[in-house]
A and B are shown apart, each in its own frame.
Chain A
Amino acid sequence: MYEFSYHKASSLEDARSTLATAEDGKLLAGGMTLLPTMKQRLAAPTVLVDLTGIDMAGIEGKGDNIVVGAMTTHAAVASSSLVQQTIPALAALAEGIGDPQVRNRGTIGGSVANADPAADYPAALVGLGATVVTSKRSLSAEEFFTGMFETALAEDEIITAVSFPVPEAAAYQKFPNPASRYAIVGVFVAKTANGIRVAVTGAGGSVFRNAEMEQALASNFSPDAVKNIAVDSSGLNEDIHASAEYRAHLVGVMASRAVAAM
């Protein structure tokens, strides 16, 4: 790894100001994505600002929302009895990320900020209509995810929490890459106070909703309602794991499995 200097932030303001004044500063959360990226020399920040000293880990119920602090690990979300009782689909999603060691270190803030097209959490955020809370503002999940590895975050903006409205029911189904467990395609279906939402990760450059499936489920909430809805493969991801056409097909299969699981 290239040389860099490490700074353990003592407060949100300390993290923000260190980041703002550093020549090329980067926040460090669980490091499960950032450190391998630095070893591969795909990133070479001069300053790493570690967020682990700031109290941003924890899960609490606030009104009709479950608020998950940015530094909460995947393992903590998976084993939280509050999440298991209120949004079991979210606990199951967290339990399905990577492997136990990745779940022990990786955080929701890091996953969301990274906006990997194959990451699981983006499907839950968009599927549930969650709000991303940052050091500057609150924004909806759909405003937040702007593209492949791209978000609406400013250079010195820090995610502090994600707030999930509790749905009537929800389920997530993914077709995992057998080696990494990242989603080749993952579909999150939720019955929310604002209607039915279907969010797809893994298939495109960034998480997206499928309006046709949402409408079909609104009039007939059954696996068959979505199974045969054709998804246009143009613009979908294509790599050694799966072709765009295969991913398009999987969207319908995963959506119908999610509905069946609800």
Chain B
Amino acid sequence: MSVSVVMTVNGEVVAKHVEDRTLLVEFLREHLRLTGTHVGCDTSQCGACVVHANGKSLKSCTALAVQMDGAEITTIEGLANGDVLHPMQEAFRQNHGLQCGFCTPGMVMSAVDLVNENPDPSETEIREWLEGNICRCTGYHNIVKSISAGAKAMREGDPT
């Protein structure tokens, strides 16, 4: 069966027909060609697919597109302001918070949700928050460092 959905994705209203079984991540990647959101495990373990729905992070491989009808979605493509990176993206860049980069979109989206909730997270809080995000390259150390720096930049109200 096919249904029509209307969502606001990165500030733009999109209306599309999807199958009932279309996952949010398929909708983003295949219907909207927003391929910054990745699929790692496809079984809700790895967090590569994390996006925000109405300001809260979720695993987009484990939500149906039709469930998001009317929702406001932000993906990694929606964070930067033109050519100026979001402070959390910039922090990952400055602190060598990525190697292959596969996990990075999910890491950054998850980190922004953390800082929205807890503007000054401790290292322990950052590590606990990353429970749902798996990285196969970095050993996490520089990711934690990046998130601390990104949180600081967000607190200081970097205008981006």
Query: Is B123's CB within 8 Å of the partner chain A?
Result: no
Q: Confirm or deny: B100 has a beta carbon within 8 angstroms of a beta carbon on chain A.
A: no
Overall SS of chain B's interface: mixed
Q: Which of A36, A75, A179 is the one whose CB lies under 8 Å from B44?
A: A36
Q: Are A101 and B58 in contact (CB under 8 A)?
A: yes
CA distance A2 to B19 in the complex (A): 11
Residue of B nearest to A99 (CB): B132
**Contacts of B47-74 to chain A: CB distance below 8 A:** 47, 50, 56-59, 62-64, 66-67
Closest chain-A Cβ to B125's Cβ sits at a distance in Å of 11
Q: Is A245 an interface residue (CB 8 A)?
A: no
**Which of B1, B59, B131, B132 has the most CB atoms of chain A within a 10 A radius of its CB?**
B131
Q: What CA separation (Å) do A28 and B21 show in the bound complex?
A: 13
CA distance A2 to B1 in the complex (A): 12
Point out the residues of chain A lying under 8 angstroms from B19, CB to CB: 3
Task: Indicate whether B110 reaches chain A with its CB closer than 8 angstroms.
Answer: yes
The distance from the CB of A42 to the nearest CB of chain B, in whole angstroms, is 11
Cβ-defined contact, B110 with A101, below 8 A: yes
Q: How far is it, in angstroms, between the C-alpha of A22 and the C-alpha of B143 when the chains are bound?
A: 47
Question: Are A101 and B132 within 8 A (Cβ)?
Answer: yes
**A10 contacts B by Cβ under 8 Å:** no
A47-81: which have CB < 8 Å to B?
48, 50, 52, 75
How far apart sit A102 and B110, CA to CA, in the bound complex (Å)?
Answer: 12
Contact surface of B with A, Cβ cutoff 8 Å: 1, 3, 19-21, 23, 42-45, 47, 50, 56-59, 62-64, 66-67, 110, 113-114, 129, 131-133
Q: List 9 A-B contacts (CB under 8 A).
A: A6-B1, A6-B20, A8-B66, A28-B67, A32-B62, A35-B62, A36-B44, A36-B62, A104-B58
